[in-house]
A and B are shown apart, each in its own frame.
Chain A
Amino acid sequence: MERSEPPTSKTQHDRGIDARRRLLAIALGAVLLAPGCVPPGKPNPDDRPKTPGQIVDFDVLFRHRCSGCHGADGKLGPAPPLNDPLFLEIISVADIEKIVRDGRHGTPMPAFARSSGGTLTDAQIKILAEQIPARWKSDKKPESPPPAYRLASSDEAGGTVGDAKRGEALFERACAECHGEQGDGEFSEAGAINDPAFLGLISDQALRRIIITGRPDLGMPTYAESEGRPSDYQPLTSDEINDLVALLASWRQRGDVAMQP
């Protein structure tokens, strides 16, 4: 009786051993394989903590230091777009570097150099200045050479050598359709630009740049585009742009009450 065990219990017993062996094999396999696979918690040497001054990745630098005003992709921010092939066509790397380093006097563009109380090292500023054109400058050249970026070099102090009187006629043709007569913004869609407070926060150099490049991200035409302008519109020349800048600069002086109550 004792020797003849029921066959069912025997197979159950065997199955139990089988299951245990299988479990053991899986466990052994897991132990052997474990060193081969990389656990997700293993720190990646690339993620080593960096001090802010050690960051050399353009995307990170741009995201942290530029996108607040110039937009996430270098456009559609309140400040003029950097992701603008025409702008990058006319400006030099050295000029970008200088602006990032020292800021743009008379505008909210701050100086980023550590020597000026900013947050970027010289090396980082260089990376930004070189990478912005490298990323966003277009390969194909414009058909006719665009006007120079800089204001007439004879007047470095910030004043313009343009003529505001000549500028008035030009304004009528090139700007009034969207910004209203005398730039008052009335019955127009783009809004006023004759406000002394507005002009008080934008330099003549920045005005020249905006007139040349427009704001392609917001629909403002470049110096050459005729959309919304008279049919016989001709691209503005460098001198004409200076005249327009002079006109706007004269409006800047006009108001003595900058702040309305």
Chain B
Amino acid sequence: MIGWLKSIGRWIDVRIGFSETLLPMMRHPIPRAVDGPMGWWYVFGSASLTFLMLQIVTGIGLSLVYVPSAEEAYDTLLYLDYQHPFGWFLRALHYYAGSGMVVMVLVHMTQVFIHGAYKYPRELTWLVGVGLFACTLGMFFSGQILRWDPDAYWGLAVAGSMAGRVPGIGPQVVELLLGGPIIGAGSLSRFYALHVFVIPGALLTLVGLHLWLVLKCGISAPPVAGEPVNPATYDAAYHEELKRGVPFLGDAIMKDICFSALAVIVVVCVAAIMGPKGPSGPPDPIVSGANPRPEWPFLWIFALLALSPPSIETFIMLVLPVIVIVALMLVPLVSNRGERAPSKRPVAVLLVIVVYTALGVLTYQGVVAPWSPVMDAWTGDPVPVNLVKRSTPRELQGALVFQYKNCRNCHALDGIGGRRGPDLTTIGTRLTRNKMIDQVSNGTPGGGNMPAFGKQMTPDEMAMVVDFMVSLRPERQPPAGAPRDLVASGEQ
């Protein structure tokens, strides 16, 4: 049996020539230092590739069931989740392997950047890598749209609005993206085509190019301080180094396999424990309680846009992404020589720390989103019992107005409620009665965040809600502006 298989293999090999091309490729020498513990820095690229293959397999599985029509997409996801055997697991695996791919691509890029591995002669490898990074994010975004739940719907609405701001050709770009001026039945088909044909095609082409470049230029040796890259002498030195090298098909590939296996095991476990992501609810644009969030790789943009003044929004949407991509592409072009060791490149290390800190903080802000009102707080978050217990009838009535007029959706009491405006638990110590009336009636001065409620409240409601707010202070602490204000308000 085995002999029979071997003869088939030989028959093919004679014609296709694997043993003359692929085997030497696999056995190509790599720098000896990779053989040691430093070699563990080189496993992230192959892990990204492993996840990509996992994504292709699970993605094909999903596409057998998924129907990319606005009518049926959502239902097919429910069918996968609840009826199809292990359909939920396939969805979970596809989501977490995709997340893992983004993580691995980021780590791989960071490692290459920190080790200066993008310098001569590997500039083009980096450039193609930037394209792969963009494709990976494109896959993540288009994949999120295919879920066709409120997150997807509103995510697409935001993307469409952003595209509409492109000067001059905005409407045409929107038309191209959404298949019409607004989100419609054709929009989902567009993103299905993007997710299944266009971006994967580009991705696989670039992966092939990337791998070819890795083979062609060789793996960079671990950086050594005091050995700067000089394009004039690098090739000869690297050639010398490879003479003492070790074959890739050995310790190096074992490290790759071990790490990829570990990464896959982690993703499988996470998928089994966490389950599929969404779908969160039927995509019904009239459901006002929807609280859509972008997927995690885009939360930082969500935060950045929410926290920026409106005047620079267009810049952030249209110019910033271009700047980021161009900056990433310029990296190997402006510094393709010199030191590679991180200990000799403080600016590069600092840049990585600053960028990741900024992304981390923005992502955290995107998760908690304190700028979003809690739409249900006015009926859903009880007034803290300790406040109720000490309140007079007037203050109780004021608390009712406070809830009824949706103050709670933006202002927390005892930390519960919206966080768009300040927590008002001790507002009575900070604002005088008159200031409160002014603030509630006219909103934040100068067109700030708080709307003016003057025309939405009767004088009675205003009087009661201010009574309640004056009472919001620790026991035995006088209200702000006492005693003159006390007399004015009639309290003794």
- List chain A positions with a Cβ less than 8 A from chain B: 39-43, 45, 48-52, 63-69, 71-72, 76-79, 107-108, 110, 119, 179, 185-186, 190-193, 195-198, 200-202, 218, 258-261
16 sample A-B contacts, Cβ–Cβ < 8 Å, listed by A number? A40-B272, A43-B88, A45-B82, A49-B279, A49-B280, A51-B284, A64-B380, A69-B404, A77-B388, A78-B383, A179-B393, A197-B460, A198-B464, A258-B459, A259-B460, A260-B489
A78 to B281, CA, bound (A): 33
State whether the Cβ of B382 lies closer than 8 Å to any Cβ in chain A: yes
Question: Which stretch, B29-37, B152-160, B309-317, B371-379, touches the partner chain A?
Answer: B371-379
When C-beta atoms are compared, the residue in chain B nearest to A120 turns out to be: B379
B434-492 with Cβ < 8 A to chain A? 434, 437, 458-464, 488-490, 492
A41 to B88, CA, bound (A): 8
Q: A41-B89, A66-B379, A68-B379 are in contact. Are A201 and B460 (CB under 8 A)?
A: yes
Of B273, B376, B459, B492, the residue contacting A259 (CB under 8 A) is B459
Interface string of B148-191 (1 = CB under 8 A from A): 01000000000000000000000000000000000000000000
B92/A192 in contact, CB under 8 A: no
Q: How far is the CB of A105 from chain B (nearest CB, A)?
A: 13
Of A42, A48, A49, A51, the residue contacting B275 (CB under 8 A) is A42
Interface of B is mostly: helix
Of A78, A198, A259, the residue contacting B403 (CB under 8 A) is A78
Closest 9 pairs between A and B when the two form their complex, measured CB to CB: A191-B392, A41-B275, A78-B399, A200-B460, A108-B404, A197-B463, A259-B459, A39-B272, A197-B460
When C-beta atoms are compared, the residue in chain B nearest to A68 turns out to be: B379
Q: A41-B276, A49-B281, A259-B460 are in contact. Are A68 and B271 (CB under 8 A)?
A: no
A residues within 8 A CB of B380?
63-65, 67-68
Of A51, A52, A76, A200, the residue contacting B385 (CB under 8 A) is A76
A residues within 8 A CB of B401?
108, 201
A192/B389 in contact, CB under 8 A: no
Which has the most chain B C-beta neighbours within 10 Å: A41, A65, A76, A193? A41
Q: How far is the CB of A52 from chain B (nearest CB, A)?
A: 6
Q: A40-B275, A68-B377 are in contact. Are A258 and B460 (CB under 8 A)?
A: yes
B388/A76 in contact, CB under 8 A: yes
B463/A259 in contact, CB under 8 A: yes
A40 to B89, CA, bound (A): 11
A42 to B82, CA, bound (A): 8
B257-294 with Cβ < 8 A to chain A? 271-276, 278-282, 284, 287, 289
Of A78, A191, A196, the residue contacting B400 (CB under 8 A) is A78
State whether the Cβ of B103 lies closer than 8 Å to any Cβ in chain A: no
A residues within 8 A CB of B378?
68
A residues within 8 A CB of B490?
260
A202 to B401, CA, bound (A): 11
B276/A64 in contact, CB under 8 A: no
B357-387 with Cβ < 8 A to chain A? 376-383, 385
Of B78, B392, B488, the residue contacting A192 (CB under 8 A) is B392
State whether the Cβ of B43 lies closer than 8 Å to any Cβ in chain A: no
A49/B149 in contact, CB under 8 A: yes
Q: A78-B400, A191-B392, A260-B463 are in contact. Are A41 and B382 (CB under 8 A)?
A: no
A residues within 8 A CB of B256?
none
B273/A78 in contact, CB under 8 A: no
Q: A49-B282, A52-B287 are in contact. Are A259 and B462 (CB under 8 A)?
A: yes
Of B289, B377, B393, B404, the residue contacting A190 (CB under 8 A) is B393
Q: How far is the CB of A58 from chain B (nearest CB, A)?
A: 15
A residues within 8 A CB of B272?
39-41
A179 to B392, CA, bound (A): 10
B residues within 8 A CB of A71?
382-383, 385, 388
* A-B contact sample (11 more), CB < 8 A, given A197-B464, A198-B460: A39-B272, A41-B276, A43-B82, A52-B287, A64-B380, A78-B383, A107-B400, A108-B397, A190-B392, A192-B392, A201-B461
A197 to B401, CA, bound (A): 12
Q: A49-B281, A201-B397 are in contact. Are A68 and B383 (CB under 8 A)?
A: yes
A residues within 8 A CB of B434?
261
A43 to B83, CA, bound (A): 10
A52 to B78, CA, bound (A): 18
A residues within 8 A CB of B408?
68
A32 to B379, CA, bound (A): 50
Q: How far is the CB of B95 from chain A (nearest CB, A)?
A: 11
A199 to B393, CA, bound (A): 10
B393/A64 in contact, CB under 8 A: no
Q: How far is the CB of B51 from chain A (nearest CB, A)?
A: 18
A78/B397 in contact, CB under 8 A: yes
A198/B275 in contact, CB under 8 A: no
A215 to B340, CA, bound (A): 76
B383/A192 in contact, CB under 8 A: no
Q: A45-B82, A78-B400, A108-B400 are in contact. Are A69 and B383 (CB under 8 A)?
A: yes
When C-beta atoms are compared, the residue in chain A nearest to B92 turns out to be: A41
A50/B281 in contact, CB under 8 A: yes
When C-beta atoms are compared, the residue in chain A nearest to B468 turns out to be: A78
B287/A258 in contact, CB under 8 A: no
When C-beta atoms are compared, the residue in chain A nearest to B458 turns out to be: A200
B residues within 8 A CB of A202?
397
A78/B391 in contact, CB under 8 A: yes
